[in-house]
Amino acid sequence: MKVTRITTGSVICSLFLIMISLTSNSQDLKDFDGNIYKTAKLGVQVWTASNLNVSHFRNGDSIPEAKTPEEWANAGKNGTPAWCYYDNDPINGEKYGKLYNWYAINDSRGLAPDGWHIPANTDWTTLVKNLQGVDIAGIKLKSGSDWKHRKGTNKIGFTAIPGGCRESDGKFRDLGMIGSWWSNSVPVDVKPSDKIISFVLSDNTGQVKYLRSEKGAGLSVRCEKD
């Protein structure tokens, strides 16, 4: 009978190869600040599975934090990038990430990490279509524990949570009640618009809604892989 001798070296080598394989297959994403994001995959789309929480653009430039209502409103009026935590509380940032105005997500320096982008309208609609449409996609995208009434199944691990929003005048609203995320598409209007389509989920329904939000508002952000 032939006996195969297993040496310590061969075991270590095998473990090393397994670790490399696991690492190479990982879809986790790291941003400029070192935050790690798990991802969710559906078809050819790969999404971050939590809200963006970075305070720098891709090139390393800092994004201004706007705490007071005046600072927030002025950023929107002047068309300059800004972010905040809900109620300016970093504890909220740990769970819900940051809220950004549209000027932050549309900045040429890039808010999304390299190899990723802020989703356009077509990216959102493709995601919803692949989850059988606006009437039921919301339930499949919602987390199973963070909503009070219509909890989700989190079917693909997207883990949508109700992080609320900030109005263009600086008021915070709807934490625990809505989740709203930016699209990076500019509407085609007869007249120039200061509003952008956003992707919205509400606590009391499983539907997906597409609403127009002012560019100076503060919404959550998800990223999609290029």
d(CA 179, CA 168): 17
What is this structure's pTM? 0.86
Average pLDDT, the chain: 88
pLDDT at 25 over 50: no
Mean pLDDT within 162-170: 98
What residues are paired with 142 via a beta bridge?
A: 160
What pLDDT band is residue 193 in, cutting at 50, 70 and 90? low
Q: Quick check: 9 pLDDT over 50?
A: no
Mean pLDDT of 127-152: 96
Q: Report the pLDDT value the prediction gives residue 188, as an integer from 0 to 100.
A: 56
Share of the chain above pLDDT 90, in %: 81
What's the whole-number mean pLDDT along residues 2-18?
A: 41
- pLDDT band at residue 196 under the 50/70/90 scheme: confident
Phi-psi region of 88 (alpha: psi -120 to 50; beta: other; left: phi over 0): left
Phi, psi of 27 (to 5 degrees): -105, 5
CA-CA-CA-CA torsion sign (27, 82, 212, 111): negative
Flag whether pLDDT at 36 surpasses 70. Answer: yes
Per cent of the chain over pLDDT 70 is 85
List pLDDT tens digits, range 72-114. 999 999 999 999 999 999 999 999 999 999 999 999 999 999 9
Q: What are phi and psi of 23, to 5 degrees?
A: -65, -40
What pLDDT sits at residue 197? 87
